[in-house]
Structure 1
Amino acid sequence: MRWRNTKQSTNIDDRRGQGPARSGMAAAGLLRFLPFLLRTKVGKLILVVGGIYLAYQYFTGGMSTMDVQQAPGQEQQQGTSNGQAAANDENAQFVAAILGTTETVWNKLLNGQYPEPQLVLYNNITQTGCGMGQAQSGPFYCPADSKVYLDLSFMDELKKLGAPGDFAFAYVIAHEVGHHVQNVLGTSKQVAQLQQQASETEANQLSVMLELQADCYAGVWGYYVHNDMQLLETGDLEEGIQAASSVGDDRLMEMSGRAVQPDAFTHGTSEQRVAWFRKGFESGNPKDCDTFQAQP
């Protein structure tokens, strides 16, 4: 990708390496008093209630994630927003540049009615509006605070999955921004309401539709990056397609040694993810991304 001369987004919250996370300190404090809590009925009740609360936050906060397991990294460091990628940090500059292109595309497509999301760079674990975020789950979007969360170690995870290249990682960022677009348009809220009344299998199917739409929106972004901005080079599209294929539910289940269970899919098969990414890339029209009504 020819990204180096593009305008970098200032909506970057870099939390890497700037002091212990409050979440980590809280966890350490809890562990310190764990023996005492386990010896008393009240203490056990506190642990149970606390566990239920954390689970509620995590599973109902609406995190939309690439859902790829990563190796544990270093302890998360909590910092403050600096608005600019470090001058000597090429990966951070790349992220800021790609986020900048998404801002250009979606401001155009939504006629300037696009509240730009923040992108949080962090290490391993961080506090979010949807509960505790972990790098092990891959990049994710939290609709509660309208932020994309990204641990840069995911670049290496994509390579391990057979999807190297800058456009492969750019697709991941564009996919998470696609979830922000869904949040802006009200789609995420509608799906969450339907899921509350649905069976587990039906809720998973709705999740798949939401994820595939985000893939299609990533393709729409790719259309404008290619045709309007002229940023793509030979082989970039193939990198994006390979990335979409690499994170299909069926492929990830096979790689982890599990049986492929379609009812448990939450993101879609490799074939579905590639098809919807291609659909958006070829049309450039978000209206063609209605995964809730048709399959490509």
Structure 2
Amino acid sequence: MRNKTRCLGTVVLVAGLTTIATCAVALLLTGDGEVRYSADHGDTIPVWHRWVPALVGIALIRLMPPRPSRLTAPETALRQAGILWIEALVLLATAMLFVVGLRLAGGGEPTHTLLKLSLLLGVPAVLFLTVRRRSPGRENGARGSVIGPWRRWEPAVPVAAWLVLAYASPLAVPARGLPGGSDAVTLIATVVIVFAVNSLLEEVFYRRWLQTRWEALLGAWPGIVVASLLWAVWHIGIQGGGSLPIDLASIVASHSVQGVFLGYLWSRYRVMWPILSVHGAMNAAPIAIALL
């Protein structure tokens, strides 16, 4: 059984990386290579502006000393009981349903937020309550392992490098304020709501829940790639608008590499603050920079 899961993990990893590479090549072959970086407007940047900060962050994580095994005792018990497969498949189906539902609904508000809350929060809540009621152990992916102070703050190095390259270098995303000259109260409320609904909820669902389970089943890198692709493609519902093939190539080429960076941060360190910091900056930094 272990050999079969390893083979499946290899297939998933190769297929995922091939999909990312194919989308990147397809985008570049259009002669454009520009991608949208926000759902709030149609402005674009060169796709490689998105790749460089993420790839540098991934390289810095890789240069750090390796961590102990990512698979905790509770995860092992769940895998032996077959429960991990049930949860992993349900979460996978939920992520795919979110992609399709948001695309069909047009991606506007309040549909976007309602779908996200009901699918990415509501479905997992019901799933965990149902499956875990009489099952051994609890998923965590972080509990059960002791993390020293240095290990907890070691991710500051790749996170800081990513922030500098993404927002304080020639590759920086253009600063953009809130429409209509919104006041400070509106700004604060917007940042808090966006962080909770987007950064926090997405990272908990795609990395802490979905990726952790597929890592335990197939291995670290297949789990990272699965979560990264699913996280990337849902953005087609809010950043698409053209032909589906071009939208898909653009979204995957732009977002999946960032997703791999986020996923590697979670896989290597199993602490939430780095991925929340990076994701929060993706949403809020262009606005904050414009106000400085």
Output the TM-score relative to the length of structure 2: 0.28
Higher helix share: 2
Q: Normalized per residue, which structure has more strand?
A: 1
Query: Which structure has more RCO (C-alpha within 8 Å, separation ≥ 6)?
Result: 2
TM-score calculated relative to the size of structure 1: 0.28
